[in-house]
Copies of this chain bind each other. A is one copy, B any other.
């Protein structure tokens, strides 16, 4: 069959390989990119969906507006207000997970051949999503303080990108958080070079100790002209339930209108049952308590994994302990003559019964093959200790 040429832009084997790793039974998996289902507030969800069906059965089961269900938009606006973002309910649109926001941004913004700057490493599905629209991705280096803004400016000047895509807070896979000073600099660069910055923020609420710096969107009030250059993507997936597929986007009205137009032809609307449920859940006021719980559990697991890595793998790996999110991003140093190729390390780890994701596929260009990503989110502490011990053996 004569498939569309855009499919040639996407390398799927890397992804297939990742999923194959997960198939082996009994394996301890640090490979996932998802929250722990055991932490879901099932009772809260049950109450929310029943309330939705009792109070608003029509809207909850009927088609909804492509821009989102207003009661949810109001709740999301309030939810964001708690993180310093001022937005009215019609200043955001609901998307089918934040993945759809990325797709809509790709569809509305990217012409084949357009340059797009992403972090190196960045979210795998963003790489593929943008490439399907023909984006030519440019990779900006990241350190423990997030994307390097000096390099970012150089790349913006060199490539004149259509947009810059960042996960500034507890990045996937980097775990890095962009410093306050760098955030301000990113906003200044957006204005100076008149370039759209997509801020993907699914993990911002999952902090372990003190809250991270305000989002780019929240800080945009301090940098004149920057607010209209931010497209902010939020999600309930990591803090409440990925199964709802409820994300949202805040951007300037013209861009949002075009995204809504495209959404009409993507899926017409996000599940109104899911939207009404999410609205009822947020309205019930259970979110702060639910967040406290997942923050505490993930913090303990992150700490256990970090300590075990230092103990079991020593100077053969280096990483920065994450302050939030789901991931530890690590690099094999080769110290003591140990292997430095994470793909090879992953194969040996599987033999020892533990899975993780090698870092190479997360780079749009110039992959650092010594890197790998470990998720601490879905595994209890005993199994984290067991798994990291096996990693030690594998190394």
By a beta-carbon cutoff of 8 Å, the part of chain A in contact with chain B is 1-7, 10, 12, 15, 34-35, 37-38, 40, 42, 45-46, 49-50, 53, 57-64, 96-97, 99-100, 102-103, 107-111, 114, 125, 128-129, 132-133, 162, 196, 237, 241-245, 252, 254-255, 258, 261-262, 264-274, 276-277
B265 touches A245 (CB 8 A): no
B108 touches A7 (CB 8 A): yes
Interchain CA distance A125-B262 in the complex, whole Å? 10
Between-chain CB contacts (< 8 Å), 24 pairs: A1-B254, A4-B108, A4-B109, A4-B114, A34-B62, A37-B58, A37-B59, A40-B58, A40-B62, A45-B61, A49-B50, A61-B243, A63-B237, A97-B267, A97-B268, A99-B265, A99-B268, A100-B266, A103-B265, A242-B272, A271-B274, A273-B273, A273-B274, A273-B277
Interchain CA distance A61-B58 in the complex, whole Å? 23
Interfacial chain B residues near A15, Cβ < 8 Å: 264
Interfacial chain B residues near A245, Cβ < 8 Å: 96, 267-272
Kindly report which residue of chain B lies nearest to residue A262, judged by CB atoms. Answer: B132
Interfacial chain B residues near A162, Cβ < 8 Å: 2
Interfacial chain B residues near A34, Cβ < 8 Å: 62-63
| Copy count, this protein chain | 2
A243-B273, A264-B125 as given contacts; A40 in contact with B12, CB under 8 Å: no
Q: From B108, B125, B237, give the contact of A265 (CB < 8 A).
A: B125
A128 touches B264 (CB 8 A): yes
Interfacial chain B residues near A276, Cβ < 8 Å: 243
Interchain CA distance A128-B273 in the complex, whole Å? 26
Interchain CA distance A62-B243 in the complex, whole Å? 5
Interfacial chain B residues near A243, Cβ < 8 Å: 59-64, 271-273, 276
Kindly report which residue of chain B lies nearest to residue A37, judged by CB atoms. Answer: B58
Interchain CA distance A128-B102 in the complex, whole Å? 20
Q: From B42, B50, B267, give the contact of A103 (CB < 8 A).
A: B267
Kindly report which residue of chain B lies nearest to residue A240, judged by CB atoms. Answer: B61
Interchain CA distance A15-B38 in the complex, whole Å? 44
Interfacial chain B residues near A241, Cβ < 8 Å: 61-62, 273
Most B CB atoms within 10 A — which of A107, A244, A277? A107
B37 touches A4 (CB 8 A): no
Interfacial chain B residues near A53, Cβ < 8 Å: 42, 45-46, 49
A46-B50, A103-B266, A266-B99 as given contacts; A63 in contact with B108, CB under 8 Å: no
Interfacial chain B residues near A109, Cβ < 8 Å: 1-4
Interchain CA distance A243-B114 in the complex, whole Å? 36
Interchain CA distance A64-B58 in the complex, whole Å? 27
Interfacial chain B residues near A100, Cβ < 8 Å: 266-267
B40 touches A61 (CB 8 A): yes
Interfacial chain B residues near A42, Cβ < 8 Å: 53, 57, 61
